[in-house]
Amino acid sequence: MDEKKVIIVGGGITGLATAYYLQKEAKGMQLPIKVKLIEASDRLGGVISTEKRDGFVIERGPDSIIARKKSAMRLIEEVGLKDKIISNTAGKSYIYARGKLHTMPEGSFMGIPTKVTPFALSGLFSPLGKLRAAGDFILPKGEPKADQSLGAFFRHRLGDEVVDNLIDPLLSGIYAGDIDELSLMALFPNFYEIEQKHRSLVIGLNKSMPKPPKTATKPVSKKGMFISLSTGLEELIHQVESRLEEGTVVKGTAVKKIVKTGSTYQVHFETGDVESADCVVITTDHFHAQRMLSEYAFMEQFKDMPSNSVANVALAFPKSAIEKDIEGTGFLVSRNSDFRITACTWTHKKWPGTSPENMALLRCYVGKPDDQEAVELSDDEIVELVLKDLNKTMNITEKPIFHVVTRWRKAMPQYTVGHLEKIAHVKKQLDEELPGVFLAGGSFEGVGIPGCIDQAEAAVDKVIAHLKL
Ligand code: FAD
């Protein structure tokens, strides 16, 4: 059998997981496949980046992986990191809205109430806002729609206050986007299905969520829903990289364009070099993917697909510098509050063991969808505005021992209304015009780390099917 060559473009978690699983499958099935992974920068990992400093483990990008999605856990265990898995402390978390911090109402699932009393008692909403939210029990279900914005959907069911003071801050913390632009069907199709089936979201969610056994006497676990690694998430990148066959990875080389020649592809690098491949898996963001395939009109739609920027700001203090300490693991900020930060994690409490004893690490984000300029301020300006905001809820008496500011420009792809249709169209066109070229990664079919690994595994299956070995 002739050897087939697969080029993977981009060395973030998606590209790395694709390379890893493809080599594993090829070895297991004894398929003659040569894999090359091309990364533009001089390091792998993309937005996964950990800094270790003075005993702190500081995540510059993602810090947590949702535990119930199994693909990430599987990869972590496969590369020997099981004993490094840590769980977040399931402490109290807060929302800053209506001028103060409020505890997250118990029983809220992505901001949707599953219990009435904690919502009825919460100071997050005015009496009128609560009354409007109760409309969910009586309002008819929405007209069937191919897609709509998350904002329109939730505003219709629960009213503006629940959306602005609870659902939006929670979702913005994940997607860094505008709830009135983001797609319901791309991000939470299950909520649409619940509404269509049960009419009321509250009733439907209660019916569809697993109930704890009535006889349960076990103490409530302190473990949260997320996992990380005690040595930082970048360790996953290093361990996957170290398991790739020698010569697989090429760093510091950007792919410029991909040209179809017969049944194979010519991959052109910025250096002027060209390599041919039988299959290409593009795992960069959608802007770079579009540029690589700019001759194809169907890729044009990625030009207008928005992506937001954020800055991650980590501040280290002695614990004694935080006078008005608050019990909990962090807070989110409602967009209508007079804050420029969008969230703050008390990292030393959320991830025990990642800060030295007696030290605190606060990790904040700036860069609301309507405050993108904040990301471009100087480090000193960003630190100053973060401290100013933090002091509205805490009393910090000293300057940070150090700060780490990381700007992620256009790194939060926005799945806006119609996203699924766009992706389906591009995939169909790729299949017809460029068979053997596949897209995977955060811009396309899942923004979180597990979603990227799922896409990598799916890409491996498609590559193997395409090569017909
Ligand atoms: P990337 O990590 O963007 O990697 C793409 C790679 O392609 C980069 O290394 C880039 O240099 C390379 N590249 C680009 N152009 C070229 C080219 N022309 N040639 C060659 N290489 C190229 N998810 C979670 O699950 N939990 C979290 O807590 C979380 N927090 C996040 C916080 C931030 C600040 C961000 C930005 C994202 C967060 N996410 C989180 C989302 C998740 O981290 C990303 O979706 C995921 O890591 C994206 O991986 P990727 O491989 O698809 O893309």
Distance 48 CA to ligand 1 centre (A): 7
Three-state DSSP class for residue 212: coil
Q: Which amino acid is at 218?
A: K
Same domain assignment for residues 295 and 443:
yes
The answer to whether position 62 is within a domain reads: no
Give the ipTM: 0.99
Q: How far apart are CA 65 and CA 48, in angstroms?
A: 12
In this structure, what is the dihedral angle of CA atoms 445, 450, 452, 458, given to the nearest 10 degrees? -80
Distance 374 CA to ligand 1 centre (A): 21
The predicted pLDDT at position 1 comes to: 74
**251 burial via Cβ count (<10 Å: 0-12, 13-18, 19+):** middle
Same domain assignment for residues 409 and 373:
yes
* Mean confidence (pLDDT) of the chain: 95
The answer to whether position 291 is within a domain reads: yes
Supply the pTM of this predicted model: 0.96
Domain count, the chain: 3
Say if ligand 1 is within 6 A of residue 39 CB. Answer: yes
The answer to whether position 443 is within a domain reads: yes
Same domain assignment for residues 330 and 184:
no
The predicted pLDDT at position 327 comes to: 85
Same domain assignment for residues 332 and 394:
yes
Nearest to 370 by CA among 178, 183, 179, 182: 178
CATH of the domain at 194: 1.10.3110.10
Distance 356 CA to ligand 1 centre (A): 29
The answer to whether position 93 is within a domain reads: no
Same domain assignment for residues 301 and 284:
yes
Say if ligand 1 is within 6 A of residue 413 CB. Answer: no
CATH of the domain at 292: 3.50.50.60
**What are 27-37's pLDDT values in tens digits?**
999 999 999 99
Distance 371 CA to ligand 1 centre (A): 22
- From the CA of 365, give the closest atom in ligand 1: 34
**What are 200-256's pLDDT values in tens digits?**
999 999 998 776 656 555 555 667 889 999 999 999 999 999 999 999 999 999 999
Q: How far apart are CA 234 and CA 62, in angstroms?
A: 10
**What are 37-46's pLDDT values in tens digits?**
999 999 999 9
Same domain assignment for residues 311 and 402:
yes
Same domain assignment for residues 275 and 332:
no
Distance 424 CA to ligand 1 centre (A): 22
Same domain assignment for residues 293 and 432:
yes
CATH of the domain at 394: 3.90.660.20
The answer to whether position 204 is within a domain reads: yes
Same domain assignment for residues 120 and 182:
yes
Say if ligand 1 is within 6 A of residue 47 CB. Answer: yes
**What are 428-451's pLDDT values in tens digits?**
999 999 999 999 999 999 999 999
Q: Looking at per-residue confidence, does 137 or 216 come out higher?
A: 137
Same domain assignment for residues 333 and 295:
no
Same domain assignment for residues 342 and 297:
no
Say if ligand 1 is within 6 A of residue 441 CB. Answer: yes
Say if ligand 1 is within 6 A of residue 337 CB. Answer: no
Say if ligand 1 is within 6 A of residue 23 CB. Answer: no
Same domain assignment for residues 203 and 114:
yes
Say if ligand 1 is within 6 A of residue 254 CB. Answer: yes
The predicted pLDDT at position 210 comes to: 72
Provide the token pair at 268: 């052109």
Say if ligand 1 is within 6 A of residue 186 CB. Answer: no
The answer to whether position 124 is within a domain reads: yes
Supply the range of the domain harboring residue 137. 107-208
- From the CA of 13, give the closest atom in ligand 1: 51
The answer to whether position 388 is within a domain reads: yes
The answer to whether position 8 is within a domain reads: yes
* Residue at which a domain ends, from 377, 397, 413: 413
Is residue 179 left, alpha or beta, with left meaning phi > 0 and alpha meaning psi from -120 to 50? alpha
